[in-house]
Structure 1
Amino acid sequence: MTEEQSKVFQRVVSVAQTFLADAMEKGMVTPALIAEQVDFVAGAMVQGVEIDRRAAVAELIRRFSLWIGNASTLADQEGHKDWLTAARRRDWRYWQRYRDFLERKMSLKAVEALDESTNQILELLEDPVREGRWDRRGLVVGHVQSGKTGNYTGLICKAADAGYKIIIVLAGLHNNLRSQTQIRLEEGFLGYETSVRNDVVRFIGVGENGRDAEIRPNCATNRSDNGDFNTRVARHYAITPEQRPWLFVVKKNKTVLERLLKWIRNQVADAKDADGRPIVTNLPLLLIDDEADHASVDTGEQLFNPDGTPDDDHQPKAINSRIRKILHSFAKKAYVGYTATPFANIFIHRRNETKEEGPDLFPQSFIVNLSAPSNYVGPARVFGLRSPEGRIGGLPLSREVDDHLDEEGSGGWMPPKHPKDHVPLHDGLDEVPPSLRNAVGAFVLACAVRILRGQGRSHSSMLIHVTRYTAVQEEVRRQVDALVKRFRQRIERGFERDELLAEWKRLWLDDFVPTSAAIGHALKDLEADCDLPDWEDVVAVLPEVFGDLSVRAINGTAGDVLDYAEREETGLKVIAVGGDKLARGLTLEGLCVSYFVRTTKMYDTLMQMGRWFGYRPGYVDLCRLYTTPDLVEWFGHIADAAEELRQEFDTMVATRATPREYGMKVQSHPVLMVTSPLKMRSAKSLQLSFSGEVLETVAFHRDPGILAKNLAAAEHLFEAAGVPAEAGTITRKRDEGAQDWKGFLWKDVPADHVIDFFGAYLTHPAARKVNSALLMDFIKAMVTNGELTSWTVVLMGGGEGEPHSFCGKYSIDNMATRKPKDGSGHYSIGRLLSPRDESIDLGEDAWRAALELTISAWTKDPARQTDEAGKEQPKTPSGPAVRRVRGYGAEGVPAAPERGLLLVYPLDPKTAGLPEDGPPVVAFGASFPASRSITTVKYEVDHLLWENEYGPAD
């Protein structure tokens, strides 16, 4: 496709989409109608230019089959005045031109969703023309690589329309990420390309053809690699309230932020506050903090005076201090952080404040959870979600890697721990391991298929992320570059060409053909184009692939950059080797193949390294993730943790909780033991709460002695609990009929017996969330507050395993079975509880109240669903709703924070691969009611052990 054909193609798609907008409102868009409109528009517009009408129809089918859930919000309205009305939005020009720009490239539904979510965020800020002092601080949580930059660009446009005059965007730690953000904002907000002299080079994006030049915003930074804020240039800037808005795109760098702070105080401030500090009273500030959990959080532990006030001698960390000082220099300000991993932001103490910096960056005003469109490929899509049957719904994109290590696992090409001068050798040779050779071959084939699908002018990228050390990255780049050159010579010159093509044909037949078929079936609701071309056609375009392919190192010292913007017309095909720069924020356009063997296991760091999540229109079936089995398991943990927290968030939204309440919840969430303890601002221990949680054992010992000990602990509990209140079939009346369970149920079991059970039960070290000793300590602490004093205990049967008798009198006809996961030395399962089991102790009214809360909290967020069923309104209560109703009560349902639920599941040892005549594997699920108390239990952290287990914080 030539440049002219590409532009005509985009124009035809855009105009046809506009013509179809009315039909979309009526739900009447069909593939036949789309084809008809494409033919009409192409016939009317195209003179002498051939366009791919089939590709245009396919693109429009994708756009119109899209669906998007709603954003949800936790807000604290204290001190806030409602202000955003339809009349106020009527003549907004920055937003209108950005909207027009987006509609040329995106689905109308996606643009509509962005319009709604940015309205939600903007109305939570303050009216920029409001008199007096005001301060709003919020957080927007999106999915990794899901379009957060597009969202805050829309927010900036609307904020500028509303009257915000100073807009500062904090864009990562590195020059290339800052430059990438600057380019995106030039296209979406400024409308012109900036230069070192800060003049208009040419009109682009929203300002193409000089559109709306009279409202052109000012910009104090430029797109060059060293185009950050510069005091020498800034001295010539004069900012007054009457002027158009000013944009600053700056790095999170101590020197740059200090420079900006001094300029604001010396050049912009028009008054002094009560302490004599310069302050800006006439210009409202909007500060956007991209990747807000990275570098912005104060990791020093602030002390508090005996009266509870913050110790003013506390010295925040350098970047956090300067961000807060900049905010503190404005009388009217709004701070909005954007992140996919909000854990560190939630750990910020709510009361942190100093005289010099003002309050800390806790999002006290609001937290907004963005939903992703249905074409977003996130953790739940890639890895599935856990269930009693194992992980379900994941796409077959992962390929396991183990040949980067030697047989002992401590040496080889890229061992987990290696020095910064490590020389990567495979079997003693200066070359990459076979798995990486395979991954590069897969990328070459993916590029070839994209060319044949009409996507040859689109960017295609491969990520190689194996080490944090730049010198080692350079060695890897050199090896991969040598490999690509050998491939190119064989394809272009014919030497050993047949052997290479035979190798790739095996990869094509064994991998590409079955994978594309499987993904086409799994994503049929997205109208995914997963048809593969003939092998002969793939071979024919390989020279074209190698003609454009380059290998680059992207790190703090390398000269290579990913110049996507400069190659917009031709498409960049690049293999990027890097570390931290590739791990956070930097978008890899058209990412097809990832080779990833980094060893960190911290949730937020891993999530940010997941650059392969995102949008893959027309090529999701070509994407591959080459990684270790260990990391696949950890990404599964991440998908589950993210889902738990979003469910909890939605439940709190439905009950009108505030960001402070959610902060307490997340700060003590046991899943988040796996984030950097520095970011948790606790150098010695974590304070955990299990209130509102369900904890279930999914990792178990195989030692018969320990299994027998855990069985004895369970039998002792049953004996101490007395006579069961229900036995055999346990029935509960529900709206749709009755729900039945098999087993034995004890009511009003004193907490002492449950404490004894946890004291005697030995959990496996690999149980990331469940530690029986911690649970015992937590229940003891809650009992002193009058909570968790009376328990419902259930011995669960009704499985498909063998029978077993407990205490000689509690006979289970069929024990539960849980299939073991491969690759671990212990017995490991996906999920223990069936979701409905948590409601076994709810009466009909409480069950209905929990269901109503579940429905009101439910959002159609496709990034959290793995199949079509995700669009259906729930018919049973969610776990968070059950636990909240139990703890807080509901209309006609009294609160019962004293009532815990302990579910004991005997698992058939035969299914676990253990001796049939051995003891059953005793598993448990503990469901804790939500609580208004903030009782916690201490979890000691050894930093050296932490780094050894989870790797350093990046």
Structure 2
Amino acid sequence: MSRRGPKHFAKLAFALADDEEPADADVTGFHERILAAAPGDDLLALWRRKLTAWDFEQSPAWSATAARTPERRAEVYGKLALDEDLRKAFDAVVPVHTEPGPVTISREFRPWYTREQAANRSFYWASYERLLRGKGWPDAAVSGLDEAAHAVVERLADPTSDTPYGARGLVVGYVQSGKTANFTGVTAKAIDAGYRLVIVLGGTLNLLRGQTQRRLDMELIGQENILGAADPSDPDALVGIDYQDDEDWPAKFVSFGARPSDLGAFDIERLTSRDRDYMSLERGISALEFEKPDRTRPLHDPANLHAARARIMVVKKNKSVLEKLVKDLKKIGPILGEIPALIIDDESDQASVNTTDPKKWEDGKVTRTAINGQISALLKLLPRAQYVGYTATPFANVFIDPGDEEDLFPRDFLISLPRPTDYMGVQDFHDLDGFEGDEGEAEKKHVRGIYDSTGDKLQEALDAFVLTGALKVYRAEHGVPSGPFRHHTMLVHESVRMAEHAALAQRIRTLWENSAHTGPEGHARLADLFDRDFRAYANGSLPTPATYADLKPYVSEARRLINQGGSPVIVVNGESERDYAQPDLDFDRTPNVWKILVGGTKLSRGFTVEGLTITYYRRTTQQADTLMQMGRWFGFRPGYRDLVRLYIGREEALGRGRNAKTVDLYEAFEAICRDEELFRDELSRYAPLVDGRPQVTPAQIPPLVAQHLPWVKPSARNKMFNAELVEVRSPGQIIEPTAHPNTGADLHHNTMLWRPLLDDLRPEREVFTYHHPSNGRSYTLSAFTHTLSHEQLMGILENLRWWNPAPFEPHLEYLRSLLRAPHLIDDWLLIAPQHTSSVRTLTGSIAGSRPLALSHRQRRRVEIFGNISDPKHRATALRISGALPRTEDEVTERHVTERRGSILLYPVIEDAPESTVIDGRVDPGKVAMVFSLVPPAAANNAAQSLVRFRAIDSTRDTPITDRPTTS
């Protein structure tokens, strides 16, 4: 019943029992116990843990099925030899967790970190796992973290190997999604396995570094390692030791019961503390000296390694601090080559990336920026050092030059973590399957504009802050655990300029003082806001008052908590570290932070704003990664998810003077969210091995980076290297070109290319219906259709004009390849959707065609459209192309053939209908013939990779590609 896999349960129970013969009654008793178990039963909890662990395990030796699938669970039941009743009972209380796990793009590597080895040396991981379960983490979350952390550690070098190697990797999470939990798990597993020096690069500010130090101290390093030899019952012995003023010490800090070395494990020595970064002291030098029980063997020999203490330091990404560390390490001498080290770089796309212009490097000499140079120096000093970067915005990292061996390109692996359960992220604020102009459910629930007819809505945002505070107090008194309500914050982010922060803070204070929240006028405003907003979107499973009158008594308490300590506003900025040392902002040591935070850069990177409920956001930037990092409203909101509101600028000025333009911040966030989701989708698509080998390696990742809005670059220009995507093979995948031309001549040209097909459309409408098996929904599509050959379609696609042809070119290259492989494709079904609603009846004749349905859409204030296909139409197109299972609809199935693709064609007008559709006719120069393609799912040559790349590598004179392809 270990991680070696499930065994025949009845036989195992007999082997462990004292009976001389198998006792069917014992197994029957177990059967009855499980069937009658209450939710909190200890035995049931143990089985839940084991089944979940087996479900999640990636490619174990004992299994031939995929993780997180019903097939894996059935295999487990079979190996356990459970009867049908027990299987049904376990399925009811431990359902299979089918959500995707981590996605890994990796070089081939030599396996060394097996599950058996991990189980044999697991002191710190087991302690961390117990702590997480004690904090209420569900089994699926713990098992998911276990698998993700294991995937990182197994791709590091074997710490006991005679041959040194330094792996380079990158772990991609979501903004404020628990990346720290992952690298804490990685650290625990790595030191258990033998890594003895861990350097965590914890942000660029002391406050961020201190947050990371405290988290590691609390959840991994533990009380006994923090205290050392100090007697916890002797107050004099505790003077100067961390956390004596911390509200959570010692109750919430992990404890092992004794010094780990007294328990047969090894101690951890901290080289930094909560308030002290790495210092150049003799103490620091001696602490880095590793003693070897057997001096005839190197430190990395198991005889020495597993008896040695581990050293952990959390270091700020600061040039002088890192210089001190490098200087001290140089004094240690030759043993540096024997130390298995792990460098974890939190927010690795900030400060760590070399941003000097390669064109300015002279005589082949690489010039490095300060932090990048110091990290490179560390890696050179420690030949056994493994570097693992963590970020939510990976574009800068994957654009690092792969040919620069001393830089930080993740050459060995890139792991994309799944979106955590209960995480509030992109999909909660943006309806990614909707259309421009349509307000979806996510936007209705959580997103509000900055302006209304009376001006900006800052007063309303302040009222929402008070109202949600009152609702939290109400819920805490009506059975909801108050832990998540310890802190309650509002973030106001308009500018990076400190002078503007001061003026804005003063304006907020004045508004606050005049708000009269506990007077008749204030209560009237709050009642109106409650009725038209918060009551309408309240979570029905959480206690919420039926009327404002029931909530009114809690408003004064919320206002009192916000006013405590004087001003309700904290300005978060500064030119020095001292400016950030604000006790009112210390979420760890302050019992309740109920404040309005006004600031800029510091609030947009790394810093976790606890209890964030209301955001008022107006700041613009032209870098996608910077913009995404400003999304502090992403995160976990237990007990108050339904109360979260984002007030965001819909039309803001970007730039100054003649180059200024108006942008939509909400739209910009949506665009970069699409870029990031597409990046993750592409990683998922190319992660499966082909014939046991990777389809792509990390060096081929940059071309997977998309860019939906031209003015929002994936990363800063000085972080991007050139990469070119040559071909994307997309069998059974939706291809949606968005960069259609915007001039009358080009639109006319494209319309006339499609025009002959409009006459070929069958005269009768067909109504397609697809019942989707995964979500149970039915999708209906009314359309005219026509079948055309692949050669006919390519004759159109090859001659289309574009505003920007580059995004479609790699897909077009794949479609060209199908001309050379006629056995993979027969034809295409052209589908021209028609209106079914009596409300949407916009039709017109295009250059003399029969009247056809027209769509009225606007481009996203730039030259590209957003979504092309209607979400309700995609199922039909995917089924006809063989990408979805059979349906019972005869109309749909009549069109399905094995090698048929599908095209959804939408004539789109952008101007007002009355100026475009005249006497029922449409000017061909005023219609954009936009379309979605789904190549046949069968159009996949197994001998070829699904993607081909060219990427610039400074070590090569010519572009590199993936392994050769054949036609």
TM-score (norm 2): 0.69
Structure 1 residues 799 and 740: alpha-carbon distance in aligned structure 2, compared to 1, 3 A threshold: closer
Match of 1:447 in 2: 469
Structure 1 residues 902 and 255: alpha-carbon distance in aligned structure 2, compared to 1, 3 A threshold: farther
Deviation at 1:461, TM superposition (A): 1.5
Match of 2:337 in 1: 281
Structure 1 residues 66 and 637: alpha-carbon distance in aligned structure 2, compared to 1, 3 A threshold: farther
Match of 1:660 in 2: 697
Deviation at 1:556, TM superposition (A): 3.4
Deviation at 1:622, TM superposition (A): 1.6
Structure 1 residues 784 and 819: alpha-carbon distance in aligned structure 2, compared to 1, 3 A threshold: closer
1:573 aligns with 2:589: no
What CA distance in whole angstroms lies between the structure 1 residues aligned with 2:809 and 2:682? 24
Q: Deviations over 1:666-685 (max 9, x none)?
A: 45634486655774558897
What letter is aligned with 1:237? A
Match of 2:201 in 1: 170
SS of the aligned residue for 2:638 comes to: coil
Deviation at 1:177, TM superposition (A): 0.9
Structure 1 residues 194 and 17: alpha-carbon distance in aligned structure 2, compared to 1, 3 A threshold: farther
Name structure 1 gaps, 5 residues minimum.
1-14, 29-62, 271-279, 408-426, 428-432, 522-526, 764-770, 853-873, 877-891, 938-954
After superposition, the CA RMSD in angstroms is 4.8
Alignment of 1:173-192 (within 5 A): 173-192=204-223
**In 2, are the aligned partners of 1:70 and 1:113 still within 8 Å (CA)?**
no
Alignment of 1:562-601 (within 5 A): 570-601=591-622
SS of the aligned residue for 1:473 comes to: helix
What CA distance in whole angstroms lies between the structure 2 residues aligned with 1:326 and 1:925? 52
What CA distance in whole angstroms lies between the structure 2 residues aligned with 1:663 and 1:672? 23
Q: Deviations over 1:509-530 (max 9, x none)?
A: 23222232xxx26xxxxx5555
What CA distance in whole angstroms lies between the structure 2 residues aligned with 1:141 and 1:188? 22
Farther-moved stretch of structure 1 (194-203 vs 662-671)? 194-203
Name structure 2 gaps, 5 residues minimum.
1-38, 53-92, 228-237, 291-298, 300-306, 477-481, 651-663, 774-779, 836-840, 889-896, 936-944, 953-967
Alignment of 1:527-542 (within 5 A): 527=541, 534-542=550-558
What letter is aligned with 2:337? T
What letter is aligned with 2:195? Y
1:364 aligns with 2:411: yes
What letter is aligned with 1:298? N
Match of 2:83 in 1: none
Alignment of 1:22-421 (within 5 A): 22=46, 69-109=99-139, 110-192=141-223, 199=241, 204=250, 205-208=252-255, 211-212=258-259, 214=261, 215-224=266-275, 227-231=277-281, 233-240=283-290, 241=299, 242-267=307-332, 269-270=334-335, 280-302=336-358, 312-353=364-405, 358=406, 360-387=407-434, 390=438, 392-395=440-443, 396-402=445-451
Q: Deviations over 1:382-431 (max 9, x none)?
A: 2121246956441511110137xxx9xxxxxxxxxxxxxxxxxxx9xxxx
**In 2, are the aligned partners of 1:347 and 1:680 still within 8 Å (CA)?**
no
**In 1, are the aligned partners of 2:399 and 2:720 still within 8 Å (CA)?**
no
TM-score (norm 1): 0.70
Alignment of 1:458-497 (within 5 A): 458-485=486-513, 490=516, 497=519
SS of the aligned residue for 2:505 comes to: helix
Match of 2:572 in 1: 554
Structure 1 residues 588 and 699: alpha-carbon distance in aligned structure 2, compared to 1, 3 A threshold: same
Alignment of 1:5-24 (within 5 A): 21-22=45-46
Deviation at 1:596, TM superposition (A): 0.7
Deviation at 1:71, TM superposition (A): 2.3
Q: Deviations over 1:277-314 (max 9, x none)?
A: xxx22210111111122222223344799xxxx97412
What CA distance in whole angstroms lies between the structure 2 residues aligned with 1:692 and 1:402? 45
What CA distance in whole angstroms lies between the structure 1 residues aligned with 2:373 and 2:679? 29
**In 1, are the aligned partners of 2:672 and 2:708 still within 8 Å (CA)?**
no
What CA distance in whole angstroms lies between the structure 2 residues aligned with 1:482 and 1:236? 56
Match of 1:8 in 2: none
What CA distance in whole angstroms lies between the structure 1 residues aligned with 2:744 and 2:726? 28
Match of 1:713 in 2: 750
Deviation at 1:260, TM superposition (A): 1.6
Structure 1 residues 747 and 392: alpha-carbon distance in aligned structure 2, compared to 1, 3 A threshold: farther
SS of the aligned residue for 1:371 comes to: coil
SS of the aligned residue for 1:746 comes to: strand
**In 2, are the aligned partners of 1:819 and 1:911 still within 8 Å (CA)?**
no
**In 2, are the aligned partners of 1:462 and 1:594 still within 8 Å (CA)?**
yes
**In 2, are the aligned partners of 1:288 and 1:336 still within 8 Å (CA)?**
yes
What CA distance in whole angstroms lies between the structure 1 residues aligned with 2:869 and 2:433? 9
Structure 1 residues 786 and 473: alpha-carbon distance in aligned structure 2, compared to 1, 3 A threshold: farther
Could you say which structure has the greater relative contact order, defined with CA pairs below 8 angstroms and 6 or more residues apart? Answer: 1
What CA distance in whole angstroms lies between the structure 2 residues aligned with 1:825 and 1:330? 49
Deviation at 1:754, TM superposition (A): 3.9
SS of the aligned residue for 2:597 comes to: strand
**In 2, are the aligned partners of 1:833 and 1:925 still within 8 Å (CA)?**
no
Structure 1 residues 530 and 377: alpha-carbon distance in aligned structure 2, compared to 1, 3 A threshold: farther
What letter is aligned with 2:343? L
Structure 1 residues 627 and 668: alpha-carbon distance in aligned structure 2, compared to 1, 3 A threshold: closer
Match of 1:921 in 2: 927
What CA distance in whole angstroms lies between the structure 2 residues aligned with 1:66 and 1:825? 45
Match of 1:815 in 2: 853
What CA distance in whole angstroms lies between the structure 2 residues aligned with 1:841 and 1:70? 21
**In 2, are the aligned partners of 1:755 and 1:780 still within 8 Å (CA)?**
no
**In 2, are the aligned partners of 1:141 and 1:367 still within 8 Å (CA)?**
yes
Which of the two has higher C-alpha Rg?
A: 2
Structure 1 residues 689 and 461: alpha-carbon distance in aligned structure 2, compared to 1, 3 A threshold: farther
What letter is aligned with 1:293? D
Equivalent of residue 503 in structure 1, options 503, 506, 525? 525
What CA distance in whole angstroms lies between the structure 2 residues aligned with 1:566 and 1:381? 25
What letter is aligned with 2:45? A
SS of the aligned residue for 1:504 comes to: helix
Deviation at 1:332, TM superposition (A): 1.6
Structure 1 residues 791 and 64: alpha-carbon distance in aligned structure 2, compared to 1, 3 A threshold: closer
1:640 aligns with 2:674: yes
Farther-moved stretch of structure 1 (692-701 vs 557-566)? 692-701
What CA distance in whole angstroms lies between the structure 2 residues aligned with 1:294 and 1:219? 25
